[in-house]
Structure 1
Amino acid sequence: MTAPTEIRHARVVTPDRVIDDGHVVVSGGRIARVGPTPKHSIEIGETIDADGRVLMPGLVDLHGDDIEHHRSPRSGAQTDVRTAVTTADRSNLLAGVTTKYHAVAFEDAPDDGRSLDDATAIAAELADESYTLVDNRLHARCELTGGSVRAVEQIAADVDLLSVMHHAPGDGQYDRDGFERHYVEDRNWPAHAVDEIAAKRESLDASTRTERIVRLREIGRRAGVPFASHDDESAAAVEEMAACGVAVSEYPVTLDAAVRADELGLTTVMGAPNLIRGGSLWDNLSVRAAIDRGVVDVLCADYHPPSLLAAPFVDTGEPLATRVNRVTRNPADVVGLTDRGRIAVDARADLIVVDPNPVPTVERVLVGGTDVMRSGEPRDTPVRPLPPMGS
C-alpha cells in the first residue's frame, strides 16, 4: 500500500461548502480526512501544497462524443480504435475528467464516418482496455433504426448508459433548415445524402417508433443501466418518453420540456458548452435560462471537455459547491457511482487541483488516489530557459 498523500492550503469544494484553507488526506485510494489545513503536515507520504488553488472532485462526464472526433479527425481519415481511445483518455484527463461516459452513436452515417461496425469496435475496445488513466465507460446513443437497435442489443453487456435519439427534420433540436445545415456544414454530408436520410427517418411510423423505444428500455433494464432520451422538444414529448421508462432527459430543446422533466422527477442533463457560449448553437434552450428556472441537474461535456471544467467557474449566482455538484456528484449519482464525485471521507479519491485564473486549468489529477497527472511549475519557481539548439 502506498503512503498517504496530503493536499494542503487548498480551496476544498465539498458537496455543501467550500473550505477556504483546507486539506485532504488520501490513503488506500480513498479520502481519509477532510478539514481545515492543520498547522503541521502529517509528515508521512507526499505533501502537495495547493497554494490557494481549488481542490474539487474529478469530473464525471455522462455524455461526451469527443471520442468520435479522435477516431475520425477529418472526413475520410480515421485513426485506429486504440489510438482514439488513448487520445480521448489523455485529453479528458487534462480537462479534469476522471470518469468518462463516451457517447458513441450507433447510427449508419457513412458520409461522416459513423457506422454500426465502427461503434461496435469502439464499444469492444472500451470494454477490454486496461491501458487508460481515466475510468472510461460506454454511453450507447441509439438512433431509432432497426439495425441500430440490433447492434446495441448485441453489445448490451458492455453498455453503461443507454440513450435513444431520433434526428429528423422537425423532431427534436433541428427544424428542416437546421437539419440540413447540421449535416451539410457540420458533418460534411452531400445534399442528396441529407435528403435521403431525412426521408427515411420521417417515414418512421409512431407504432414502430414506440416499439423500438420500449425494446431499448428492456435492453437497458436487463443490463441494469439508466435509460435516457435525447432532444425532447416539448412537455408532451417528455411525458411520452417518461411513459416508456426514461429516467434521464438529455438536452431538452425548450424550457417547457425541461420544466416537465423536472416535474416528473427525471434528471435533466444539458451541455456545458451551451453555458460557456451563452446559448445554444441551434437557438434552443439556453443552459443559463434553465439554471435560472432551477431545472438543470447535470452538465456534460457534449463535444468539448474543457467546457465541462470551465462550467463551475461561470457565475450563475449560486454557491460554488452547487455548481461543482452539477459536474461531479450529481452525474455520479445518476449512474449509481455514489463512491465518487464528492470530497468526503471514504469516497474514492478522484481529485483535481484547478487554477481558475485566467482560464480554469488542471494542474494535478489523482485517480483512485494515484497521482496520474501534474502540470505547470510552482508559482515561485522561475521558468527554466530552453537548452541551446543541438544539445
Structure 2
Amino acid sequence: MSSDRIARRNYGGTDTGLRTDHGVTEIRGGTVVTPEGSIEDGCILLQEGRIREVGTTIGSDAATVIDATDRIVMPGIVDLHGDDIEHHLFPRSGAHVDERLALSSADRANVATGVTTKFHAISFEDAVEENRTLDLARELTRTIQETDGFLGNNRVHARCELGCKSHAAVAEFLTDNVVDLVSLVNHVPGSGQFDDVEEFQRRYVGDRDLSSEAVEQLAERRSTMSAHVVNDRIERIVEKAHANGIPIASHDDETPAEVYRAAECGATICEYPLTMAAARRAKELGLCTVMGAPNLVRGGSLWDNLEAREAAREGVVDVLCSDYHPPSLLAAPFVETGEPLHERVARVTKNPADVVGFLRRGRLEGGARADVLVVDPDPVPTVDHAFVGGREVFRATDQTSSLES
C-alpha cells in the first residue's frame, strides 16, 4: 500500500510531519490496553505525535500529566464503515445541510465517542428518494479531500452500488488518491438481505421512510440489471482498486459461495456476513470479517441476520464498525463476550487499522502514532480525553496538571 495514501490531507491524517504539541505528555494511573494485554496502574508517554513509551513506572520529563486513575487508556478507534454522515447531511429528509458543516459536526461527534480515524461510508448511487445521488457523493468525497482542520482523521469508504451507474464515478476517485476503501454493494430484491421484492419494499418503506411507489420504482430499476452488467462493473472497480493499492470489501454475503466469489475477485474484507456459514467461510479463506457494533451492543441484528455475539463466540468476527451509530463502537469493547479486554479493544482499533494497512495506528506501543483515548467505563463508556497524532483534541474532564515551571 502506497505511503502517500496514508500520509496526506489534514494533520489528523498525516503519519509524517504531524502538527503536534512538542512537549511530552504523560498519562498515568489507568488500565493501559496494549496489543498483548492490559497494564494495571500503567503509564504512557506521548511525544511529537508518537507514543514514546508504555509501561508501569516511567521516569518522565513530561510537561503535562493526565491522571487516568479508574480509567481505561486505549488506542483511538478506527471505524471502517460509518454512514452517520448522512444524518448530518440530512437531519430531516430533503433538508440538505452544507457538506462542510455536515462534515464538521460529524467529525466532532465521532471524536467525542472515541473515533479518531473515520472511514465515511459514502454511498455512490442515484436514489434521490433516499437522499443519495452521485453528485452528492462526489461533492462529499471532494470536501473530505480538500478540507483542513478536522479534529480526527477523515477518510473515504466508497460504497459502489452495482445496481446503478455508480461504477464510473467510483473508478474516477480510485485513481485520484482519494478513496481508502471500496465496497461492492448490490442491494437488489432476491439477494443478500432481501429475500424477495416484498421484503425489499418492507425494509425500504419502514427504514428509509419512503413511499410504496418510490420503493417499487427503485426495486424495478435494480431488478432489471443483468448479471453480465454487474460482473463487468465489478471487474472494472476491482482492476482500478488493485492498481492503486486500495482494499476491497464485499457486502452482505449470505452464502459460502458468495464469499468465495468475492475472495476470487480480490476482496480481503467480508463486510456484514448475513449467516454463520458465510462468516466461517470468510475465516477459512483468510478474509477479515466486519460486523456492526450496534448488533453487539443491542444484542442482535436489526434485521434478524447473524448476531455479533454469536460470531464472537465462534471466533469469526475480526472487526466491529459503527455502521449507523458511533457511540456503539465505543461501548462494544465493554460488552462481555468471555474474551480478555485487549482482544475486544483490538476489534475496534488494531484489527481495522491492520486490514487497511495503517500499521502504526490502533495500538499502544512505542513508535506507534499517538491516537489515544482515556475512557471512563462507568456507568456507560465515555471519553474523558482524546489525542489525535499526539495532540489533545477533546477533553470532557479536567484531570490534567502542568509541570512546567
C-alpha separation in 2, matches of 1:257 and 1:11 = 36
Displacement after TM superposition at 1:31 (Å)? 0.5
- Secondary structure (helix, strand or coil) at the match of 1:142 reads strand
For residue 76 of structure 2, what is the aligned residue in structure 1? 58
C-alpha separation in 2, matches of 1:376 and 1:26 = 19
Is the 2:41–2:56 contact (alpha carbons within 8 Å) kept by the matching residues of 1?
yes
2:28 to 8, 27, 52: 8
Question: 1:130 aligned to 2:151?
Answer: no
For residue 32 of structure 1, what is the aligned residue in structure 2? 52
Q: What letter matches 1:67 in structure 2?
A: I
Question: 1:76 aligned to 2:94?
Answer: yes
C-alpha separation in 2, matches of 1:378 and 1:247 = 42
Is the 2:122–2:159 contact (alpha carbons within 8 Å) kept by the matching residues of 1?
yes
C-alpha separation in 1, matches of 2:391 and 2:291 = 30
C-alpha separation in 1, matches of 2:190 and 2:304 = 14
- Secondary structure (helix, strand or coil) at the match of 2:165 reads helix
For residue 220 of structure 2, what is the aligned residue in structure 1? 199
Is the 1:276–1:314 contact (alpha carbons within 8 Å) kept by the matching residues of 2?
yes
Give the aligned CA root-mean-square deviation in angstroms: 1.3
Question: 1:351 aligned to 2:372?
Answer: yes
For residue 298 of structure 1, what is the aligned residue in structure 2? 319
Question: 1:162 aligned to 2:185?
Answer: no
Displacement after TM superposition at 1:142 (Å)? 0.6
**C-alpha distance after superposition, 1:332-385 (max 9, x if no partner):** 001100011000000000000000110000010011100111003559xxxxxx
Which runs of 5 or more residues in structure 1 are unaligned? 380-391
For residue 153 of structure 1, what is the aligned residue in structure 2? 171
**C-alpha distance after superposition, 1:59-87 (max 9, x if no partner):** 00000000111111111101000011101
For residue 16 of structure 2, what is the aligned residue in structure 1? none
Is the 2:371–2:386 contact (alpha carbons within 8 Å) kept by the matching residues of 1?
yes
**C-alpha distance after superposition, 1:93-143 (max 9, x if no partner):** 001000000000001111121100001000000111112010100000010
Displacement after TM superposition at 1:328 (Å)? 0.2
C-alpha separation in 2, matches of 1:160 and 1:43 = 38
Which structure's relative contact order is higher, taking Cα pairs within 8 Å and 6+ residues apart? 2
Q: What letter matches 1:325 in structure 2?
A: A
Question: 1:266 aligned to 2:287?
Answer: yes
For residue 38 of structure 2, what is the aligned residue in structure 1? 18
- Secondary structure (helix, strand or coil) at the match of 2:140 reads helix
- Secondary structure (helix, strand or coil) at the match of 1:155 reads helix
C-alpha separation in 2, matches of 1:185 and 1:259 = 31
C-alpha separation in 2, matches of 1:198 and 1:8 = 56
For residue 180 of structure 1, what is the aligned residue in structure 2? 201
Q: What letter matches 1:48 in structure 2?
A: I
Question: 1:230 aligned to 2:251?
Answer: yes
Is the 2:71–2:376 contact (alpha carbons within 8 Å) kept by the matching residues of 1?
yes
- Structure 1 stretches of at least 4 aligned residues deviating more than 6 Å after TM superposition: none
**C-alpha distance after superposition, 1:236-261 (max 9, x if no partner):** 11111111111110000000000001
- Secondary structure (helix, strand or coil) at the match of 1:130 reads coil
Q: What letter matches 1:163 in structure 2?
A: S
Q: What letter matches 1:52 in structure 2?
A: D
C-alpha separation in 2, matches of 1:152 and 1:84 = 22
Is the 1:9–1:37 contact (alpha carbons within 8 Å) kept by the matching residues of 2?
no
C-alpha separation in 2, matches of 1:241 and 1:302 = 21
For residue 114 of structure 1, what is the aligned residue in structure 2? 132
C-alpha separation in 2, matches of 1:78 and 1:302 = 21
TM-score, with length taken from structure 1: 0.94
Displacement after TM superposition at 1:201 (Å)? 1.4
Question: 1:96 aligned to 2:117?
Answer: no
Q: What letter matches 2:135 in structure 1?
A: D
Q: What letter matches 1:191 in structure 2?
A: S
Displacement after TM superposition at 1:43 (Å)? 4.4
What is the aligned residue count? 377
- Secondary structure (helix, strand or coil) at the match of 2:126 reads coil
**C-alpha distance after superposition, 1:251-293 (max 9, x if no partner):** 0000000000111111100000000011101000000111111
Identity value in percent: 53
2:234 to 198, 213, 224: 213
Which runs of 5 or more residues in structure 2 are unaligned? 1-20, 401-405
C-alpha separation in 2, matches of 1:174 and 1:273 = 20
TM-score, with length taken from structure 2: 0.91
- Secondary structure (helix, strand or coil) at the match of 1:147 reads coil
For residue 13 of structure 2, what is the aligned residue in structure 1? none
